[in-house]
């Protein structure tokens, strides 16, 4: 990376820092800082990876890339640099050396300036990390009237109100208040102005025209960072349905907006260096890749979560989702060392709770770990209850609490919770997962028609989900459809050739209860090897 500052000035600043109170007795930090600055000045920024630093700067030839040692040294170095510059805001050289979170490359900026001021086309903008946001922010502008009376502009405001109300119910987004967006309801506005004044990542806008009986709406969603329209649609609706705020109409639009944002953020991950992306881009993409079909997507999810953790944000979410990743990795049969799994998954959940003991997601995932890994269902139920108390609308906590009851054979309680979770998440991109859990709950309640219906709905959305195929097979056995049961197991064994009844009993929390033994018998009948 070429610097706009004189090399000697940068080297002098490095000497000033390493002689300071923060660094002079900190050998590890000094070694790290000298190495990354020297390599950056030499044009070797692309080589600054954890393994290379460990080998070259610390002579650790046996370094394991999973070892957090270099991440921790980098974290401590950033903290020491921050302390140094707090005491030296107007240093002699007039520049600062900075190491942005999520990177090991050093940057050189003017004193009292942002990292974003540096002259490099691939620079990391500090706004990326502003507030450590893990949710994209959406602004909804009232629709503009076209070919109808200006006095009818309230129609556009009604639409904005309905959308804002519905989007606000989604945990994945921040939504700008209507009081803030009304000022932009004029006939034209500048995208950069919206971005600057509202700090919105996405903008929903559009137009409408109407007669006494019908209304025509054009709505579009734009990415304010690029100006690109990522979704647009023209809608024809009976005026009465619009006035009555038809639930399906509004929910359908929000569903499409949510899906478009998710696709757009995943595209950014695919085509850009994750280190340069927004926190919410990484988290949204990680969550969805974590639940995708292919192993490559699943592994990519872990890489994105690692980047977020590397940035040393104070949010519990990356740690919580990493704990869930480890649980799903186990469920997929990829982990043979159960003791390692218990330590790793539990440690991630604990870190999340240490950061925020009231975080619903952290509590929920800790419950998942205690259910599927530690097999301590009493502790798990307490965690789910705490999560629901923290956020009564948390659909994942409701669904997993229902599944816990299903594992214990408490079918009606299981179904009540999983069906409530479905009602709370009608637009969730992971709906197949909630349908799968509802299918398991229905099996526990011995409602086999319902279980099969939920399983089939889930498989339409994701035909490669192993536990859904198991649920479908068990339901078909009880419905005396042996051919369908065997077909489900055939598909399951293609995904997981090593799956057996013995492994099911070894891994399923239901195995300690009568219901688990019954499911094992059904799997045998469906053709699963012992």
Cα–Cα distance for residue pair 165/35, rounded to 1 Å: 52
> Nearest-CA neighbor of 153 among 193, 214, 210, 203?
210
Write down the pLDDT at residue 129: 35
- Which pTM does this prediction carry? 0.60
Examine the pLDDT at 30 and tell me if it is beyond 80.
yes
The arrangement of secondary structure in 137-267, i.e. its CATH architecture, is: 3-Layer(aba) Sandwich (3.40)
Domain ranges of the chain: 7-123, 137-267, 395-530
CB hemisphere CA count around 22 (13 angstroms): 19
> What pLDDT sits at residue 184?
66
State the CB neighbour count (10 A cutoff) for residue 282.
Answer: 26
Which string of DSSP letters, residue by residue, matches 402-434? HHHHHHTT-HHHHHHHHHHHHHH-TT-TTHHHH
Q: What is the pLDDT of residue 131?
A: 36
Query: Using an 8 Å Cβ cutoff, are 185 and 141 in contact?
Result: yes
Is pLDDT of 198 > 80? Answer: no
Q: What pLDDT does residue 358 have?
A: 82
Cβ-based neighbours of 521, under 8 Å, separated by 6 or more: none
- For residue 178, the model assigns a pLDDT of 66
Contact between 38 and 123 (Cβ < 8 Å): no
Residue 126 confidence (pLDDT): 30
Instruction: Give the range with max mean pLDDT: 211-215, 308-312, 411-415.
Output: 411-415
What average pLDDT does range 203-215 have in this prediction? 82
pLDDT digits (tens, 9 = 90+) for 51-97: 889 999 999 888 876 778 888 898 889 888 888 887 776 667 778 88
**Range with the largest mean pLDDT of 150-154, 181-185, 342-346:** 342-346
CB-CB neighbours of 50 under 10 Å: 20
Give the model confidence (pLDDT) of 423-443 as tens digits. 776 555 678 888 999 999 999
Comparing 137-267 with 395-530, is the CATH topology the same? no
Res 401 pLDDT > 50: yes
Dihedral sign, CA of 31, 33, 34, 37?
positive
Q: Residues 301-312: what's their mean pLDDT?
A: 82
pLDDT higher at 190 or 341: 341
pLDDT tens by residue, 221-249: 888 878 888 888 888 878 777 766 666 77
Condensed to tens digits (0 to 9), the pLDDT of residues 463-496 reads 878 889 999 999 999 999 999 999 999 988 888 8
d(CA 90, CA 164): 46
Q: What span, in angstroms and rounded, lies between the C-alpha atoms of 107 and 118?
A: 8
Contact, 376 vs 349, CB < 8 A? no
- Helix, strand, coil percentages for the chain (3-state, nearest 5): 60, 10, 30
CATH fold of 395-530: 1.25.40
Supply the mean pLDDT for the chain: 80
- Rounded distance between C-alpha atoms, residue 31 and residue 320, angstroms: 32
Least reliable range by pLDDT among 81-85, 339-343, 413-417: 339-343
């Amino acid at each position: 990376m070429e610097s706009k500052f004189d090399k000697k000035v940068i080297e002098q600043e490095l000497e000033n820092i390493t002689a300071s109170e923060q660094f002079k007795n900190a050998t590890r930090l000094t070694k790290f800082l000298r190495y990354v600055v020297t390599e950056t000045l030499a044009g070797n920024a692309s080589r600054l990876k954890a393994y290379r630093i460990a080998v070259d700067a610390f002579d650790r030839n046996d370094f394991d890339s999973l070892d957090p040692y270099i991440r921790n040294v980098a974290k401590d170095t950033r903290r020491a640099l921050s302390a140094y510059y707090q005491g030296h805001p107007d240093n002699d050289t007039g520049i600062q050396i900075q190491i942005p979170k999520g990177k090991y490359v050093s940057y050189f900026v003017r004193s009292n300036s942002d990292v974003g001021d540096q002259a490099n086309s691939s620079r990391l903008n500090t706004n990326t990390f502003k507030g450590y946001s893990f949710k994209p922010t959406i602004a909804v502008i009232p629709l503009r009237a076209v070919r109808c009376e200006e006095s009818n502009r309230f129609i556009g405001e009604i639409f904005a109100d309905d959308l804002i109300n519905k989007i606000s119910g989604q945990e994945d987004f921040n939504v700008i208040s209507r009081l803030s967006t009304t000022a932009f309801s004029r006939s034209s506005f500048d995208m950069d102005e919206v971005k600057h004044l509202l700090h919105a990542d996405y903008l929903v806008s559009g137009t409408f025209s109407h007669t006494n009986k019908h209304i025509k709406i054009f709505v579009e969603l734009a990415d304010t960072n690029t100006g690109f329209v990522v979704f647009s649609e023209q809608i024809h609706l009976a005026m009465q349905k619009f006035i009555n705020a038809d639930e399906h109409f509004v929910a359908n639009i929000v569903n499409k907006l949510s899906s478009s944002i998710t696709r757009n953020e995943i595209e950014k991950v695919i085509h850009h260096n994750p280190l340069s992306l927004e926190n919410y881009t990484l988290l949204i993409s990680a969550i969805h890749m974590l639940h995708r079909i292919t192993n490559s997507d699943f592994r990519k999810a872990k890489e994105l979560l690692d980047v977020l953790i590397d940035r040393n944000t104070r949010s519990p979410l990356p740690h919580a989702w990493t704990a869930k990743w480890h649980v799903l990795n186990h469920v997929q049969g990829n982990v043979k060392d159960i003791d390692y799994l218990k330590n790793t998954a539990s440690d991630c959940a604990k870190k999340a709770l240490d950061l925020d003991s009231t975080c619903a997601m952290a509590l929920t995932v800790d419950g998942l770990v205690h259910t599927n890994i530690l097999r301590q269902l009493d502790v798990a139920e307490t965690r789910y209850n705490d999560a629901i108390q923290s956020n009564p609308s948390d659909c994942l906590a409701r669904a997993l609490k229902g599944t816990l009851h299903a594992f214990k054979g408490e079918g009606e309680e299981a179904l009540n919770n999983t069906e409530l979770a479905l009602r709370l998440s009608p637009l969730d991109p992971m709906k197949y997962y909630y349908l799968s859990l509802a299918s398991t709950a229905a099996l526990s309640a011995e409602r086999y028609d319902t279980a099969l219906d939920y399983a089939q709905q889930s498989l339409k959305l994701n035909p490669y989900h192993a536990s859904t195929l198991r649920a479908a097979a068990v339901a078909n056995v009880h419905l005396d459809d042996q051919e369908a049961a065997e077909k489900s197991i055939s598909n399951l064994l293609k995904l997981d050739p090593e799956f057996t009844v013995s492994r099911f009993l070894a891994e399923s929390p239901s195995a300690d209860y009568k219901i688990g033994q019954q499911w094992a018998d059904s799997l045998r009948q469906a053709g699963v090897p012992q």
